[in-house]
């Protein structure tokens, strides 16, 4: 009895916890964006809202026209159909109006697109390499006396090894640790086939292509653990190579780097 109650209460507490804290991972029945943590994803969400404004306007107008057409031109309502085939004025209006709407959508869209491409002078560079089927990370900025750099593999935590509170299919054994409020460059590549390094809360989705280096930038505004998944179909375990990014204050990051370098 006590055991059964426990089984009900723990998920409930967990559900309340998830719904009241920041959402930096996908959640069941999620229908909107995860909470933003970088200026990039804030821009993406704002663009989405801008576009939704036009979308709702167009949907309303088109539905209204459709309804009016079906209703007013029913054969019982107008037995003798109008024989007008065209009108210059209406054609000018329905050509010009959508073009203006398109311009209003294109301007913020291009502004965002080009600003996302901008890599601000980075203070930290990390390299993410996609493998079948795990990620490996390198920190080429630092090395110890033996000239070794920090590099490690990041594997999924299998379902049977999950601790209470760890997220199924999202938790990894070694998270990518990065500092907050710092310009970070992420260099992404693939070791075998194309993978894609994607973290929704950070607004990043970058293909890892063998023989090529792609780069994207991060500026994480708050501490947290951000979860993502490989987003390019890369083989049978494509769904089992998640990404976990742990953003910590700069001071803790420096400590982490020192400890890691000592371990290497
Ligand atoms: Cu790696 Cu999909």
Domain ranges of the chain: 34-74+97-118, 124-263
Confidence of residue 23 (pLDDT cuts 50, 70, 90): low
Q: How far is the centre of ligand 1, averaged over its atoms, from the C-alpha of 5 (Å)? A: 39
* Residue 205 CB less than 6 A away from ligand 1: no
Task: Note the pLDDT of residue 81.
Answer: 79
Give the fold, CATH level 3, of 124-263: Immunoglobulin-like (2.60.40)
CB 232 within 8 A of CB 195: yes
* Residue 232 CB less than 6 A away from ligand 1: yes
Specify the pTM: 0.82
Over range 14-19, report the average pLDDT.
Answer: 54
- Among 148, 152, 123, which residue's Cα sits nearest to residue 138? 152
Q: How far is the centre of ligand 1, averaged over its atoms, from the C-alpha of 171 (Å)? A: 16
Task: Note the pLDDT of residue 104.
Answer: 93
Task: Note the pLDDT of residue 170.
Answer: 93
* Among 6-15, 104-113, 123-132, 233-242, the least confident range: 6-15
Q: How far is the centre of ligand 1, averaged over its atoms, from the C-alpha of 229 (Å)? A: 8
Confidence of residue 38 (pLDDT cuts 50, 70, 90): very high
Q: How far is the centre of ligand 1, averaged over its atoms, from the C-alpha of 132 (Å)? A: 7
* Residue 131 CB less than 6 A away from ligand 1: no
* Residue 230 CB less than 6 A away from ligand 1: yes
CATH class of 34-74+97-118: mainly alpha
* Residue 188 CB less than 6 A away from ligand 1: no
User: Is the predicted pLDDT of residue 146 greater than 90, yes or no?
Assistant: no
Write down the mean pLDDT value for the chain. Answer: 90
Contacts of 34 (CB under 8 A, 6+ apart): 23, 24, 25, 26, 200, 201
CB 230 within 8 A of CB 243: yes
* Residue 130 CB less than 6 A away from ligand 1: yes
Task: Note the pLDDT of residue 17.
Answer: 54
* Residue 41 CB less than 6 A away from ligand 1: no
Query: Mean pLDDT highest for which of 21-30, 79-88, 114-123, 187-196?
Result: 187-196
For every residue of 170-234, DSSP letters joined together read T-BSSPEEEESSS-EEEEEEESSS-EEEEEGGGTEEEEE-BT--EEEEE---S-EEEEEEE-S--
How does pLDDT run across 55-67, given as a tens digit for each residue? 999 999 999 999 9
Long-range pairs of 258-263 with CB within 8 A, sequence gap ≥ 24: 260/139, 260/150, 261/142, 261/143, 261/144, 261/148, 261/150, 262/144
Nearest Cα residue to atom 1 of ligand 1: 195
Task: Note the pLDDT of residue 21.
Answer: 53
Q: How far is the centre of ligand 1, averaged over its atoms, from the C-alpha of 75 (Å)? A: 57
Task: Note the pLDDT of residue 220.
Answer: 96
Confidence of residue 84 (pLDDT cuts 50, 70, 90): confident
């Amino acid at each position: 009895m006590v055991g059964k109650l426990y089984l009900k209460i723990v998920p409930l507490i967990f559900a309340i916890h998830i719904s009241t804290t920041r959402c930096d991972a996908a959640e069941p029945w999620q229908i909107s964006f995860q909470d933003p943590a970088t200026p990039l994803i804030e821009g993406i969400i704002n663009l989405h809202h801008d576009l939704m404004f036009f979308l709702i306007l167009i949907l309303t107008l088109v539905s209204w026209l459709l309804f009016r057409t079906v209703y007013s031109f029913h054969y019982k309502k107008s037995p003798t159909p109008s024989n007008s085939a065209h009108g210059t004025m209406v054609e000018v209006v329905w050509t010009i109006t959508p073009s203006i709407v398109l311009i209003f959508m294109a301007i913020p869209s291009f502004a965002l697109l080009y600003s996302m491409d901008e890599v601000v002078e980075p203070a930290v560079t990390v390299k993410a390499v996609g493998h079948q089927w795990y990620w490996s990370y390198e920190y080429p900025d630092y090395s110890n006396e033996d000239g070794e750099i920090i590099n490690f593999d990041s594997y999924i935590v299998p379902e049977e090894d999950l601790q209470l509170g760890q997220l199924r299919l999202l938790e990894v054994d070694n998270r990518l640790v990065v500092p907050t409020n710092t310009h970070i460059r992420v260099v992404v590549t693939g070791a075998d086939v194309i993978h894609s390094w994607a973290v929704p809360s950070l607004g990043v989705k970058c293909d890892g292509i063998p023989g090529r280096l792609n780069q994207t930038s991060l500026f994480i505004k708050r501490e947290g653990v951000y979860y993502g998944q490989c987003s390019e179909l890369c083989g049978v375990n494509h769904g089992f190579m998640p990404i976990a990014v742990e953003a910590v204050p700069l001071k803790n990051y420096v400590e982490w780097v020192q400890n890691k370098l000592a371990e290497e």
